[in-house]
């Protein structure tokens, strides 16, 4: 009078086919203590009862089909009441001979009536059994459980699926509650490894005793419920038996706590949980079940069928059965059947099944279904409906310790890998995916700014021909050259007029030539710089403007000699120094030597300094040497010449403008000095603007000389009366200014010198 096991089935070989048919099944050991009818016992588990009936049915089908000719399979069934101790007593009863189980040192030749045991629902009960539902990964350890085989996938696969599901929904901050039995502990340890591999962290993990009759267990449930409510984790994995989940859910419903619950296979299809009052208030429930034959509500019964057929196929091979008879020995030791089971390979419902070295199925039932509980109410009763694989939640909630870092940012870990703050990638690095741990370095030839999600080549910056500023500079340079050409023609046409004679046509033509070279040097500032352009533009400007200033210096010196009285000896020595061609040649040659030494010792070249990290602009520009000494000496030399010309003109500033150009010289030299004094600080502080500012300074100083020295003379030559001789101008100036002996002396000296100069020239 054994009671029926919830999953434990004992099969024996017999030739009469004797077996019993009526059984009771319970989900707790308390229910087995009393002789109470099954329909009123609280612990009665309908699903376990159906699985037992499925096992019986499959045995009867095998016997009826004559799969083992001449051999009938018998069975005994006992109710384990979900208790390991009760299961051990049942096993002892089944293996006993004449109601006694003798202890032996060697069981090689033991030939009990029961040859194989179909294991229980829970892993801790399924020790040394063939199981259709026990999924603990520890049972794959053949050193501890050498005779255990199962037709259900190990939790090794289930915990991987759970971790991947969490990773899919970006749930990296979760809670775990597991049982203190072998199944719960082993599954939890397996989940720890898979969670780490999928970047999932645990906000908490709690262990719960499977004995609900203990008063401490109830307090423990309340403590765990408080932990769940107080944690920021919105997802909870429950690796528990159904009755423990029910007790925990009762507390959740009482405290009105809603979370996302991930169910392990042991309770994912529990009908009793789906029938709980207000179960829909606990939140969303996602469960895992095994894929088996596209059946819907009978997956687990299919596993029992597979277990029975695995035994039948192993027996067929062991007993050497053919279509008519079985010739093998019937009273064989159980280890021989175990050997055949490990090698069995058969087909059931168009699926192939076989065991691996760990006693697990390598194909057939190897997949997992993700099910979402959809709890609907009809006529006041809750109906359980499961959604199929890959059904997404309507609104996926967040369950993260920290907010996701967007692209361009990376995680800076605080205490655990899932808790961090987001920081932007610095210049030269990037992140092209959210939640990266480290920024990626830009490949060679590319760059990125702070917080960028990609790298790109820096864009080159120089004075391009198509930009507005360079176009304006080119237009000004071209107009300056054209203006010089027009004025050259005017000077040559009116070379005999008094204004042109006073302006010294030859010196003026040389000045125009120098200015033309200066204007042409501006063109070398345009386009992408090269070493030759860097050198050419500085040498052209240095030589052209030095030639121009040297001629102006000669003019200033001439005025200085004409209107400042010295002693006879001093006057004679100063007049000996007045050699215009020699002065211009010597001054310009000195600048040529400076430029030559500059090109040899510290030549201008392309600036190869790395751009600042905060910009994507790569400035392609010239550097005037590594130490800028040659550039400084060149500019200082021109400035010195301009300063000398300014001082000489300033000394003769009282001479009327009718007879000299001192005012024009003073103004033009002051303009030059002012422009270049302004250029120097800009060039030093902002190298990027150095080239356009220098080009602008060249144009301004060149136009200053044109406006001061040539335009007035052209105006006088074109607009003033031509019959106004120098003597009439002198008398008019004397009448206006009054009698002044010094002025007369100066005028006569100037006229004399001018006349003699013209004769010599």
Split at pLDDT 50, 70, 90, the class of 371 is low
Specify if 451 maps to a domain.
yes
DSSP string, 365-402: S--EEEEEEEEEEETTEEEEEEE-TTPPPSSPPP--SS
Nearest to 439 by CA among 452, 430, 427, 450: 430
Rg from Cα positions in the chain: 53
Answer with the residue of higher pLDDT: 712 or 224. 224
- pLDDT at residue 174 in the model: 95
Q: Is the pLDDT of residue 363 over 60?
A: no
Q: If you average pLDDT over residues 25-36, what whole number do you get?
A: 48
Give the containing element (helix H, strand E) for 679: helix 662-685
pTM above 0.85, yes or no: no
Residues 354, 336 share a domain: no
Q: Evaluate whether residue 667 is within a structural domain.
A: yes
pLDDT in tens, 275-298: 888 888 898 888 776 554 474 344
Same domain membership, residue 179 and residue 145: no
- Is pLDDT at 312 greater than 70 in this prediction? yes
143 — pLDDT class (breaks 50, 70, 90) = low
Which domain range does residue 452 map to? Answer: 409-457
Q: Is residue 745 part of a domain?
A: no
pLDDT at residue 740, as a whole number: 43
Residue 268 Cα to chain centre, angstroms = 38
Please give the Cα distance from 289 to 140 (Å, whole number).
20
In this prediction, residue 41 has a pLDDT band, given cuts at 50, 70 and 90, of very low
Question: What mean pLDDT is predicted for residues 219-238?
Answer: 93
386 and 423 part of one domain: no
Domain stop point among 336, 365, 392: 392
* Residues 388 and 522 occupy one common structural domain: no
Computed over every residue of the chain, the mean pLDDT equals: 77
pLDDT tens for each residue of 641-664: 999 988 888 876 666 555 567 778
Which residue, among 82, 264, 268, 293, has the nearest Cα to 188 in the 3D structure? 264
Whether pLDDT at 246 is above 50 = yes
Question: Does residue 319 belong to any structural domain of this protein?
Answer: yes
**Which ranges constitute the DSSP H helices of 169-298?**
182-197, 215-230, 242-254, 271-274
Q: What are the CA-CA distances from residue 179 to residues 77, 186, 213, 251 (Å)?
A: 27, 10, 15, 17
Say whether both 147 and 159 belong to one domain.
Answer: no
62 occurs within a structural domain = yes
How confident is the model at residue 277, as a pLDDT? 85
Rounded percentage of the chain residues whose pLDDT exceeds 70: 72
C-beta atoms surrounding 46 within 10 Å: 12
Assess whether 481 and 626 both reside in one domain: yes
714 and 639 within one domain: yes
Residue 572 pLDDT > 80, yes or no?
no
Would you place residue 717 in the very low, low, confident or very high pLDDT band (cuts 50, 70, 90)?
confident
Which CATH number goes with the domain that contains 60? 3.40.50.2300
**Is 186 a member of any domain?**
yes
Per-residue pLDDT tens digits for 535-545: 999 999 999 99
In this predicted model, which residue has the larger pLDDT, 131 or 311?
A: 311
Residues 376-424: pLDDT tens digits? 444 555 555 554 433 445 567 788 888 888 999 998 888 888 888 999 9
pLDDT level of residue 462 (50, 70, 90 thresholds): confident
Contact 362, 162 (CB under 8 A): no
**What's the CATH code of the domain at 619?**
1.20.1070.10
Domain contains 84:
yes
Residue whose C-alpha is closest to residue 458's, from 449, 468, 470: 449
Residues 6+ apart with CB under 8 A from 424: 408, 409, 450, 451
Same domain? 667 vs 585? yes
Between these two residues, 115 and 344, which has the higher pLDDT value? 344
Cβ atoms of 491 and 483 closer than 8 Å: no
| Residue 460 contacts residue 687 (beta carbons within 8 Å) | no
Mean pLDDT to the nearest integer, 186-212: 89
Q: What is the pLDDT of residue 681?
A: 84
Which among 335, 365, 392 is the end of a domain?
392
* In a shared domain, residues 510 and 646: yes
Instruction: State what percent of residues in the chain have pLDDT above 90.
Output: 27
Q: Are residues 492 and 474 in the same domain?
A: yes
Please tell me the predicted confidence (pLDDT) of residue 408. Answer: 93
Mean pLDDT of 488-508: 84
Q: Write out pLDDT tens, residues 469-496.
A: 999 999 999 999 999 999 999 988 888 8
Residue 548 and residue 572 share a domain: yes
Angle at 266 between CA 260 and CA 268, to 5 degrees: 40
Number of separate domains in the chain: 4
Give the C-alpha separation, 596 to 630, whole Å: 9
Among the ranges given (8-17, 213-222, 384-393, 462-471), the one the predictor scored with the smallest mean pLDDT: 8-17
* Residues 542 and 635 grouped into a single domain: yes
Evaluate whether residue 729 is within a structural domain. Answer: no
Please report the pLDDT score of residue 227 as a whole number: 95
């Amino acid at each position: 009078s054994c009671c029926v096991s919830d999953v434990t089935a004992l099969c024996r070989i017999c030739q009469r086919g004797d077996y019993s048919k009526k059984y009771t099944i319970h989900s707790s050991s308390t229910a087995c203590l009393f002789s109470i009818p099954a329909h009123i016992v609280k612990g009665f588990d309908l699903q376990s009862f159906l699985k037992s009936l499925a096992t019986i049915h499959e045995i009867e089908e095998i016997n009826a089909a004559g799969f083992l000719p001449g051999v009938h399979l018998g069975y005994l069934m006992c109710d384990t009441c979900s208790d390991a101790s009760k299961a051990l007593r049942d096993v002892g009863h089944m293996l006993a001979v004449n109601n006694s189980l003798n202890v032996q040192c060697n069981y090689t030749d033991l030939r009990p009536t029961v040859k194989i045991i179909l294991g229980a629902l829970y892993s801790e009960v399924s020790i040394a059994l063939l199981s259709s539902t026990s999924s603990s990964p520890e049972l794959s350890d053949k050193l501890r459980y050498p005779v255990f085989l199962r037709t259900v996938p190990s939790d090794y696969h289930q915990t991987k699926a759970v971790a991947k599901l969490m990773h899919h929904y970006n749930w990296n901050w979760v809670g775990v509650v597991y049982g203190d039995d072998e199944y719960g502990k082993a599954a939890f340890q397996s989940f720890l490894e898979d969670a780490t591999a999928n970047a999932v962290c645990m906000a908490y993990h709690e262990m719960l005793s499977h004995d609900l009759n203990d008063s401490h267990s109830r307090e423990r449930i309340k403590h765990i419920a408080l932990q769940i409510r107080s944690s920021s984790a919105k997802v909870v994995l429950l690796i528990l038996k159904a009755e423990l989940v029910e007790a925990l859910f009762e507390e959740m419903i009482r405290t009105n706590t809603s979370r996302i619950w991930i169910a392990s296979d042991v309770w994912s299809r529990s009908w009793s949980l789906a029938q709980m009052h207000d179960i829909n208030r606990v939140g969303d429930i996602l469960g895992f079940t095994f894929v088996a034959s596209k059946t819907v509500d009978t997956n687990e019964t299919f596993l029992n069928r597979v277990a029975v057929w695995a035994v039948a196929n192993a027996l067929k091979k062991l007993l050497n059965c053919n279509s008519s008879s079985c010739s093998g020995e019937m009273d064989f030791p159980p280890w021989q059947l175990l050997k055949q089971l490990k090698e069995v390979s058969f087909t059931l419902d168009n699926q192939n099944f076989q065991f691996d070295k760990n006693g697990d199925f390598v194909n057939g039932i190897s997949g997992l279904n993700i099910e979402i509980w959809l709890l609907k109410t009809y006529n006041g009763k809750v109906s359980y409906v499961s959604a199929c694989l890959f059904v997404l939640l309507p609104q996926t909630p967040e369950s993260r310790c920290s907010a996701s870092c967007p692209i361009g940012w990376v995680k800076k870990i605080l205490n655990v890998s899932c808790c961090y703050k987001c920081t932007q990638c610095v210049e030269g690095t990037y992140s092209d995916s959210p939640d990266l741990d480290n920024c990626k370095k830009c490949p060679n030839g590319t760059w990125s700014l702070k917080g960028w999600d990609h790298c790109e080549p820096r864009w080159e910056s120089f004075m391009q021909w198509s930009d507005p500023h360079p176009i304006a500079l080119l237009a000004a340079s071209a107009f300056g050259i054209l203006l010089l050409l027009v004025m050259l023609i005017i000077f040559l046409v009116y070379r005999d007029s008094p204004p042109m004679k006073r302006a010294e046509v030859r010196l003026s033509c040389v000045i125009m030539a120098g200015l033309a070279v200066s204007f042409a040097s501006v063109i070398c500032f345009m386009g992408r710089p090269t070493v030759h352009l860097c050198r050419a533009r500085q040498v052209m400007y240095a030589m052209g403007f030095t030639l121009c200033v040297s001629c102006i210096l000669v003019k200033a010196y001439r005025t200085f000699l004409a209107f400042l009285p010295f002693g006879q000896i001093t006057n004679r020595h100063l007049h000996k120094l007045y050699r215009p061609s020699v002065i211009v040649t010597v001054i310009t040659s000195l600048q040529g030597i400076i430029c030559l030494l500059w090109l040899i010792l510290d030549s201008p070249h392309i600036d190869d300094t790395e751009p600042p990290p905060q910009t994507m602009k790569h400035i392609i520009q010239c550097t005037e040497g590594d130490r800028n000494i040659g550039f400084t000496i060149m500019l200082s030399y021109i400035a010195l010449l301009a300063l000398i010309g300014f001082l000489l003109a300033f000394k003769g500033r009282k001479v009327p403008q009718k007879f000299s150009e001192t005012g024009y010289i003073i103004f033009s030299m002051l303009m030059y000095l002012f422009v270049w004094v302004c250029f120097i600080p800009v060039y030093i502080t902002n190298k990027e603007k150095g080239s356009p500012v220098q080009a602008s300074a060249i144009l301004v100083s060149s136009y200053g000389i044109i406006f001061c020295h040539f335009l007035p003379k052209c105006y006088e030559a074109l607009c003033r009366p031509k019959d106004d001789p120098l003597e009439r101008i002198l008398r008019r100036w004397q009448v206006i200014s009054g009698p002044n002996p010094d002025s007369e002396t100066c005028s006569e000296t100037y006229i004399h010198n001018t006349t003699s100069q013209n004769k010599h020239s």
